[in-house]
Amino acid sequence: MFNFSKQLSAYFRYMKNYLTLVFVYLYSCFALYSQKVNGLSFVAPSQKIDSTLVGIPKSKINCNYISLMPYGFIPEGSTELKFNSEWQWWGEKMEGTSTLIQLAKKEGYKIMLKPHVWKRHGSFTGHHGYTSEKDWKAFETSFSNYILTFAQLAQKEKVELFCIGTEWAKFVEERPEYWKKLINEVKKVYFGKLTYAANWDEYKKVTFWNQLDYIGVDAYFPLVDDKTPSSAQVKYALLNPLNELRIVSSSNNKPILFTEFGYRSVDNTAHQPWEAGREGIVNLQAQLNAYEAFFESFWSQSFISGGFIWKWFADHENVGGENNNGFTPQNKPVEKLIQKWYSF
């Protein structure tokens, strides 16, 4: 005999469980995209470390993510990408990368694993390409091996975020089908979140954002040609990049993640922020003003998921400082500003 009351009760229990699962899923999605990624790009140590990763207490710097970059290397004109070689720094190789992930997790950080290629003499990867199909295919095979090797490591170590490449403008533009295939191959071995680190002048041309979780941007936008630009000047100059990022985020229905951002403590730091040479007069105020404008422009925006400061070294007490004109904010006035913004 059909028991209507019993069936109705079972139906309500089913709907309760179903709605609970839906709520948990939606909440997890909200939590993922509402909590800012307050990240540091961690420079791979040359020698093994087995203690504190960032060199200062987590509660002081307030970051929640570490970007680890196991480098690969390729000579100009070559099709073979070298990685995990004996001559590389410890932190760039598989063993070192795995240890650094474990150390970072032990200290409470989440991880973005970001395989990063260095070309001979520091030439720009965005210009890397070939004239023959044979060479393209050979390089693609080598590059896939590199990326998939670290994607497998990311899965093994339960890394939260994996970056499939950094600043490959010509490669991305000329070989779009390869990248779509690569993403599918990565998804077979790694089940976390994915991004790609596009250069500031490249991200609007990328065609595969719909396959990824974040629109990754290395945010070295050219802004102000002034020795010591004020925060207001830099903030005004950032209005156009801010609006363009908003449009790309909206059209792709994906949040923006700054896979790299930062300014050197040097004169004219906001003019061409990608310049990484050792030249230039130390200017701590210029760095401070540029960072202040960057945070004020972007960190309150809901479509911005945060980012990774370029760059941070393990030996905190002995790097950076008031005589250093490089990118690192360590032991400079800007460090306290970052601590403040990363506390939100």
CA distance 84 to 78: 17
Question: Residue 2 pLDDT more than 60?
Answer: no
The DSSP code sequence of 207-254 is S-GGGSSSEEEE--------SS--HHHHHHHTHHHHHHHHHHHHHHT-
State pLDDT tens for residues 23-62: 433 333 444 445 899 999 999 999 998 877 777 766 678 8
CA distance 41 to 162: 14
CA distance 300 to 34: 11
Higher pLDDT, 133 or 26: 133
- Tokens representing 193 are 């979140």
Q: Which residues contact 14 (CB under 8 A, 6 or more apart)?
A: none
Q: To the nearest whole percent, how much of the chain has pLDDT over 90?
A: 80
CA distance 287 to 228: 8
Higher pLDDT, 55 or 106: 106
Output the pLDDT for position 11: 55
Q: Stretch 177-206: mean pLDDT, rounded? A: 98
Residue 12 CA neighbour count, 13 Å, CB half: 6
Output the pLDDT for position 120: 76
Q: Stretch 189-193: mean pLDDT, rounded? A: 98
Question: Residue 21 pLDDT more than 90?
Answer: no
Tell me the pLDDT of the chain averaged across its residues.
90
Output the pLDDT for position 130: 95
Question: Cα-flanking dihedrals φ and ψ of residue 118, to 5°?
Answer: -110, 125
Residue 341, exposed/middle/buried by CB under 10 A (0-12, 13-18, 19+)? middle
Output the pLDDT for position 27: 36
Q: Which of 156-170, 211-225, 312-326 has the lowest mean pLDDT?
A: 312-326
CA distance 39 to 92: 19
Contact predicate 221/241, CB 8 Å = yes
Residue 82 bridge partners (DSSP): 73
Contact predicate 309/262, CB 8 Å = yes
Q: To the nearest whole percent, how much of the chain has pLDDT over 70?
A: 89
CA distance 188 to 162: 13
CA distance 101 to 111: 7
The DSSP element (H or E) to which 117 belongs, if any, is strand 116-119
Q: Is the Cα torsion angle 168, 173, 178, 182 positive or negative in sign?
A: positive
Residue 165, exposed/middle/buried by CB under 10 A (0-12, 13-18, 19+)? buried
Q: Find the DSSP H helices in 75-175.
A: 94-106, 133-156, 169-174
Higher pLDDT, 21 or 286: 286
State pLDDT tens for residues 273-320: 999 888 999 999 999 999 999 999 999 999 999 999 999 999 888 999
Q: Crossing angle for the helix pair 133-156 and 176-189, nearest 10 degrees?
A: 20
Q: Choose which CATH entry (3.90.660.10, 3.30.300.30, 3.90.1150.110, 3.20.20.80) describes domain 38-341.
A: 3.20.20.80
How would residue 241 be classed by pLDDT, with cut points 50, 70 and 90? very high
Higher pLDDT, 30 or 116: 116
The DSSP element (H or E) to which 80 belongs, if any, is none
- Predicted model pTM: 0.89
Q: Which of 3-7, 68-72, 262-266, 339-343 has the lowest mean pLDDT?
A: 3-7
